Amino acid sequence: MDEDSFRAYFGDELLWTATLSDGSVVHLKSHDEQSSSASLRVHFNDRLRYIALVKEARMNESRQQVGPAFCRVVSVLDSGAEGPGSNRSRDAVG
């Protein structure tokens, strides 16, 4: 996409935000980087960085949900390993 096509398609409407699958909006730039309203807009020269940050946000959005669930699964598996069945398996091997 050339710069003219970029401007025609996005105008000044493309901002440094991404909409996640749950509909929430995340800011892709820190507040320090968003010092002026002009820096909120994605410019043609920044489009590849914008794309990379959107990909990163979308690929990592499930970590907030998966992380705690994974910890619960691991704790259940760990507690099951120390249960009554674990003694039998040690006795059978040793």
Distance CA 93, CA 87 (A): 10
Residue 18: predicted pLDDT: 93
Residue 12: predicted pLDDT: 87
User: Backbone phi, then psi, for 87, in 5-degree steps?
Assistant: -65, -40
Residue 3: predicted pLDDT: 95
The model's pLDDT over 20-69, given as tens digits with 9 standing for 90+, comes to 998 999 999 876 665 555 678 999 999 999 999 999 999 988 877 777 77
pLDDT at 91 over 60: no
Distance CA 92, CA 84 (A): 13
Say what the pTM is: 0.63
β-bridge mates for residue 26, sequence order: 18
